[in-house]
Amino acid sequence: MSEAINVLEIQNVTKRFGNLVAVRDISLQVAKGEMCAIIGPNGAGKTTFFNLISGFFPPTSGTIKFDGHDITKLATHQRVIRGMARTFQITEIFPELTVFENVRTAAEVAAGYRLRPWVNRAEAAQIHQRVEATLKLVSLEAKADRLVGELSHGDQRASEIAMALALQPHLLLLDEPTAGMGDQETYQITQLIHRLHRDSNYTIVLIEHDMRVVFHLADRICVLDQGRMLAQGTPKEIAANETVQAAYLGNAA
């Protein structure tokens, strides 16, 4: 019986900061092509959990496996090289470069060119193609030559997602992708994430506060509260779960 290897396997992970336990004994498995949403009230430990996955700091205890390999001790950039891409709540982009240049940087690093003094014409063309394709995927091809710092909030987020996609990731980590957006932009980003999930079959883990987004998109929802995993399940199950309702959904999200 060969079991498909889970993209992400987190086992009993705990993170302590001195006396403060930010994340307590959380386990999570994410299968290929799954979209898993992490929700919870402020201070529940969602961002800390994310930081543990992406390698910002190591866990106090527990293991993290990515594509079957133990990555618990690996540094951030090593996890990225293995196929983990992340976006941030406050968009992290290269503001004074164009959209194209932003994504090209990502593509070149992913292609292994980061130390190269030069690329030949064929390689350059391939990179160019890849960037264009990625921009098309996020509907930014028309704005390729604009400085990212000058774009709208939604377009900046889309650029950031494009950079993540250019890394050809096995796992996309999206930290509050709709943070700070109005209805129109939220809709656009939600549609984008939906396309990435349904059409391109990306494995996605995201933190979200916007319940419409979460319940619309996610295969599975994990509810965090005070560092613990309160509940896990399909949107239906979570909506029906009384503990969750009490802790979180009861309050206006």
Q: Which is nearer to another protein, 46 or 86 (CB)?
A: 86
21 vs 124 by CB, closer to another protein: 124
Radius of gyration of the chain (CA): 18
CA–CA gap between residue 164 and residue 177 (Å, rounded): 13
Q: Is 210 helix (H, G, I), strand (E, B) or coil?
A: coil
Q: How far is the CB of 240 from another protein (least distance, A)?
A: 37
Please say whether the beta carbons of 228 and 40 come within 8 A. Answer: no
Q: Which residues bind another protein (CB under 8 A)?
A: 54, 76-77, 80-81, 85-86, 88, 92-98, 101, 104-106, 108-110, 113-119, 145, 147, 163, 167
Q: Nearest to residue 60, comparing CAs of 47, 76, 44, 48? A: 48
Please report the sign of the dihedral spanned by the C-alpha atoms of residue 65, residue 78, residue 23, residue 34.
negative
Three-state DSSP at 207 gives: strand
DSSP-derived secondary structure letter, 2: P
Least distance in Å: CB of 67 to another protein? 15
Measured distance CA(27)–CA(35) in Å, rounded: 16
CB of 59 to another protein, least distance (A): 18
Nearer to another protein, 63 or 105 (CB): 105
Alpha carbons 211 and 248: distance in angstroms, whole number: 11
CB of 114 to another protein, least distance (A): 5
Instruction: Between 110 and 140, name the residue whose CB sits nearer to another protein.
Output: 110
Tell me whether residue 109 or residue 211 sits nearer to another protein (CB atom): 109
Least separation in angstroms between residue 91's CB and another protein is 9
Q: Which helix (H) or strand (E) holds 163?
A: helix 153-166
Quote the least distance from Cβ 108 to another protein, whole Å: 5
Nearer to another protein by C-beta: 46 or 104?
104
